[in-house]
């Protein structure tokens, strides 16, 4: 890995798409301004998607510090905002981020150094989840496993998608994505790989931090949206399943497609056990499934002050995630994903203010 020498660093554009983010956008801009990156080799861009609050006004106050504001008056959805904004950026490298994410000071430099290698087109950073009350690391077992998968898929040269909160790509590789695309951080890099064969790598040292969702309802809505976007992406990315593409066909099938199919496999297992319950083995399996789901729902309904053991919370997370995927499938099947506008997650700061 080459050192991040000032003379060799590329010009980068940090792009933050935002919709009604007045509670966090100023902190995000201030964080971006403190990046350890040459000011003559970077620009900071806020793309406001028809925000009806003071998001655009707050961003405009930083114009004298080099922050550019793309104030799109009509709410159009994140996909169209990204397509429009990319055409106006000046950087050779685009850093994508979210309004509620903070980069570590050296994160941009860590991402940018990879592009000295012309075969690398996209670099994914590491997202660390933090507790909004204490600021301490709050990575769940699930998120630790996700990061583990990304790290190892990167070693295989078969990284699937990126962390939308922190990734970088060559601007020349960007292809406009379809209106209504819900998981842009999955479709954008894999479309670039399909079209150009570029490498996607994972940098464990390029770190961004983000608060965990404030409640299980917010996480459920986020998961169902990701589920909708996953099914939505299959007609675009199905060619990655071709075994001739090597490891990426395996990782796409095992990490993504089978995960999206998991709710249907679970329903099939429950139905089969119900039909065969008179056979002792299947009867025991049916009771085990019913007990698992019963514990999951009981844990979800437990009062917040009585925090259940981690193993029980893990069961609840597994069950809720699969229900969310099932809801996402229904939305995709009935076409609601085509509305194309994003429904932002409530930020912890808003919970505290209410």
Q: Please, where in the chain does CATH 3.90.550.10 lie?
A: 6-212
* Predicted confidence (pLDDT) per residue in 175-209, tens digit: 999 988 999 999 999 999 999 999 999 999 999 99
**Whether this model's pTM surpasses 0.95:** no
Please tell me the predicted confidence (pLDDT) of residue 145: 85
Is 139 within 8 Å of 182 (Cβ atoms)? no
Interior/surface letters 66-102, b for 16+ CB within 10 angstroms, e for the rest: ebbbbebeebbbbbbbbbebbeebebebbbbbbbbbb
CA distance 206 to 101: 13
CA distance 46 to 349: 20
CA distance 55 to 26: 8
Question: What are the residue ranges of helices labelled H in 6-120?
Answer: 25-33, 55-60, 78-86, 107-112
* Predicted confidence (pLDDT) per residue in 213-269, tens digit: 656 667 788 889 889 999 999 999 999 999 999 999 999 999 999 999 999 999 999
Provide the CATH number for the domain formed by 6-212 in this structure.
3.90.550.10
Tell me the two tokens of residue 72. 């799109």
Residue entry with tokens 């971006």: 32
């Amino acid at each position: 890995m080459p050192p991040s020498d000032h003379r060799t660093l590329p010009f980068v554009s940090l792009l933050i798409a935002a919709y009604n983010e007045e509670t966090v956008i100023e902190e995000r801009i201030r964080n971006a301004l403190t990046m350890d990156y040459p000011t003559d080799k970077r620009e900071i861009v806020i793309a406001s998607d028809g925000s009806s609050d003071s998001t655009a006004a707050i961003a405009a106050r930083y114009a004298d510090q080099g922050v550019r504001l793309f104030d799109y008056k009509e709410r159009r959805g994140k996909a169209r905002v990204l397509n429009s904004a990319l055409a106006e950026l000046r950087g050779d490298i685009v850093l994508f981020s979210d309004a509620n994410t903070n980069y570590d000071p050296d994160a941009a430099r860590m991402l940018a150094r990879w592009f000295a290698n012309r075969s690398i087109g996209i670099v994914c950073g590491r997202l660390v989840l933090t507790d909004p009350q204490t600021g301490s690391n709050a990575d769940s077992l699930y998120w630790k496993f996700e990061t583990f998968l990304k790290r190892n898929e990167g070693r295989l040269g078969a990284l699937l998608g990126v962390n939308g909160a922190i990734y970088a790509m060559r601007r020349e590789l960007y292809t406009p994505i379809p209106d209504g695309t819900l998981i842009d951080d999955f479709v954008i890099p894999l479309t670039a790989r399909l079209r150009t064969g570029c490498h996607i790598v994972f940098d464990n040292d390029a770190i961004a931090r983000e608060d965990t969702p404030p409640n299980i309802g917010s996480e459920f809505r986020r998961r169902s949206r990701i589920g909708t976007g996953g099914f939505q992406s299959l007609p675009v990315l199905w060619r990655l399943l071709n075994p001739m593409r090597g490891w990426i066909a395996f990782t796409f099938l095992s990490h993504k497609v089978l995960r999206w199919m998991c709710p249907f496999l679970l329903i099939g297992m429950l139905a089969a056990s119900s039909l065969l319950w008179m056979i002792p083995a299947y009867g025991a399996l049916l009771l085990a499934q019913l007990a698992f789901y019963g514990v999951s729902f009981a844990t979800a309904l437990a009062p917040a002050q009585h925090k259940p053991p981690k193993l029980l919370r893990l069961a609840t997370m597994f069950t809720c995630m699969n229900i969310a995927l099932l809801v996402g499938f229904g939305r995709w099947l009935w076409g609601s994903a085509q509305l194309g506008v994003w429904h932002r997650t409530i930020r912890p700061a808003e919970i505290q203010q209410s």
